[in-house]
Structure 1
């Protein structure tokens, strides 16, 4: 059995690596062509072809994380169909490779891909994405904007609550045009801090060029006033970390599972809705497991009987199945957010649907026929 497992694993790994390389090359080309429009602009003369190549290269781990389940499916389908076409799989079956043993063999291979997908999506891709964004903003001389109003965060400490607005991230990683609104226990604005820039340092924000506006508008009409003072430097204690700000400013699907969990806890502690981030958190949990579903979907192709026909049709079918899984995964995410579905069920639904499909195909083609 060691020889059989070695044969299947080696062939599957080579096929998956070849398909993955092809897809990544395609995405690399498209990303680079898309970046050509940013090269040579007057406001970003330092951003040239070399910087664009580095930025596009840093996007590869994110694409790899998204593509791995699809390439695992296509590569395994190609290997299983080729073994069936050349009658090698028939010989393996006569050598003692039964359906359940073949399923266990492929599941072990799938477990390896699960760990690889999790490691890339949770550690490599977030760090690479963050580095690429900072690199691009540094050379372009621009800032990472989020809409017209920036990102909003909320924090509550005792009876006092804070609403924080960050417009953009500067080239050096600092926050630009940060606004902090302080509310009292009854929800009235008590103070406003306007800082031209802010840098996140451990348990506080180092604010620069700060304008403090203290509101005393709840007194008598004749005594109500707003006192404005300016401070060159100021430390504002807070539990808002750089990762939380990154989640608010950048796409949540680029963050690690732990960062998303911390941000969800922060939102819930401050009475904010976390539906969108909870769905993304559970997608991070379930998405690597889809590699197991894909290898089970590929196994029935080894039991198809064809001699003269090529395997192109079956590989194309695998491509369509992989693309449909990717689309269904995104559609369920949007529907779950709009319809307020259970986050874990929304994230797990595509995998469950394809698990039922794979087990049905395995039962019909392998066990019954």
Structure 2
């Protein structure tokens, strides 16, 4: 049985990897063509920078496309075994459909762990690095480093360690420059800043004012200011939910709830960290009925077509329900897991009808 299991794993896994690579190459090729439209001689963002940006985004798209690659790849892998009558021989030798499906699901569990690692620790960081790189190349008043975002705004230079959203900042430092004297007039540090309709509220503020013969220090629990950052900087530099790991999302969600602020987009992204890897198993379950029933004698082209159609339907259902959930107040956990549950129930139902 171990030899048989390894043989099935090899057939299915090789097909999944080939499909995964094909989807990535196709997507990145068209993404690169579109990215060339953002290059400009007036900035440092040229063709080489566009290629680097596209390559840095590969882990994110590896993560997003993996469920679809699993579906198409498993259809091809198991379908090839069926076309060569190998599945028929296995069943004649006493191996049931249930056992074959369980063998593929064991492979799925390994893939789930690998995809979870990719989505939790690799994809968010590379995507954040890619967007930071592009931002730095295109915006002359911005610079991004390991210390956060640096912004030049008139006679002020600001450093934000974490720009969570357009309403929440963390680790703010403001350096006020005196251009005539050629020196720094004051340095203001704040642990965090929150935005409301009246402006920004800075928390745990510490200010050092540099005088001619001394330094004056001042500490405030809170301080209000009408303007902290240029509006366009907030729009383009704010961290996106898919650029955060699940642990970072959980921290941000707690903060939003403690302050009675909306966190639906971030909750949606949090649950997708778990539903996306699990959808790999669901895709394997869905593939089995097509192979063991009316897809037994189908060609590779038909299997690819069916896999693409199901993958597109799942992708669209997932995206539409996520957006509808945010607009109409559907609980993020429900809107994130409902597509997975619907396809799981459908896959199990079809599998039970296979004999």
TM-score normalised to structure 2 length? 0.78
Cα distance, 1:237 vs. partner? 2.9
Listed as ranges, the matches of 1:111-260 within 5 Å are 111-142=109-140, 170-172=143-145, 173-176=148-151, 196-200=157-161, 204-209=171-176, 231-238=185-192, 249-260=238-249
Cα distance, 1:26 vs. partner? 0.9
Question: d(CA) in 2 for partners of 1:344 and 1:54?
Answer: 35
Question: d(CA) in 2 for partners of 1:107 and 1:334?
Answer: 31
Q: Does the CA contact (< 8 Å) of 1:85 and 1:305 recur in 2?
A: no
Question: d(CA) in 1 for partners of 2:299 and 2:305?
Answer: 11
Aligned to 1:353: 342
Aligned to 1:165: none
Q: Does the CA contact (< 8 Å) of 2:59 and 2:118 recur in 1?
A: yes
Aligned to 1:271: 260
Question: d(CA) in 1 for partners of 2:294 and 2:21?
Answer: 30
Question: d(CA) in 1 for partners of 2:235 and 2:106?
Answer: 36
Listed as ranges, the matches of 1:292-331 within 5 Å are 292-304=281-293, 309-331=298-320
Q: Does the CA contact (< 8 Å) of 1:207 and 1:233 recur in 2?
A: yes
**Is 1:7 paired with 2:7?**
yes
Cα deviation code 1:72-111 (max 9, x no counterpart): 0000011122211211100111223212212211111111
Cα distance, 1:353 vs. partner? 0.3
Cα deviation code 1:332-361 (max 9, x no counterpart): 101111111122111100000000110011
Cα distance, 1:285 vs. partner? 2.0
Structure 2 residue aligned with 1:65, among 52, 63, 66? Answer: 63
Structure 2 residue aligned with 1:262, among 251, 256, 259? Answer: 251
Moved over 6 A (4+): 245-248
Question: d(CA) in 1 for partners of 2:288 and 2:84?
Answer: 16
Cα distance, 1:113 vs. partner? 1.5
Aligned to 1:34: 34
With over 3 angstroms needed to count, the CA separation of the structure-2 counterparts of 1:47 and 1:196, relative to structure 1, is same
Question: d(CA) in 1 for partners of 2:338 and 2:59?
Answer: 25
Structure 2 residue aligned with 1:102, among 100, 103, 106? Answer: 100
Question: d(CA) in 1 for partners of 2:41 and 2:122?
Answer: 33
Q: Does the CA contact (< 8 Å) of 1:247 and 1:255 recur in 2?
A: no
Aligned to 2:83: 85
Cα distance, 1:195 vs. partner? 5.3
Question: d(CA) in 1 for partners of 2:152 and 2:319?
Answer: 34
**Is 1:339 paired with 2:314?**
no
Aligned to 2:223: none
Structural RMSD (CA): 2.7
Question: d(CA) in 2 for partners of 1:137 and 1:207?
Answer: 21
> Gaps (5+ residues) in structure 2?
163-169, 179-183, 195-233
Q: Tell me the number of residue pairs that the alignment of Structure 1 and Structure 2 aligns.
A: 302
Moved more, 274-283 or 248-257: 248-257
Cα deviation code 1:188-215 (max 9, x no counterpart): xxxxxx95412439x842211189xxxx
Cα distance, 1:270 vs. partner? 1.2
TM-score normalised to structure 1 length? 0.75
Aligned to 2:270: 281
Q: Does the CA contact (< 8 Å) of 2:82 and 2:297 recur in 1?
A: no
Local SS of the residue matching 1:42: coil
Cα deviation code 1:213-235 (max 9, x no counterpart): xxxxxxxxxxxxxxxxx952112
Cα deviation code 1:42-78 (max 9, x no counterpart): 321x323222211110010111111000000000011
Q: Does the CA contact (< 8 Å) of 2:79 and 2:296 recur in 1?
A: no
Local SS of the residue matching 1:332: helix
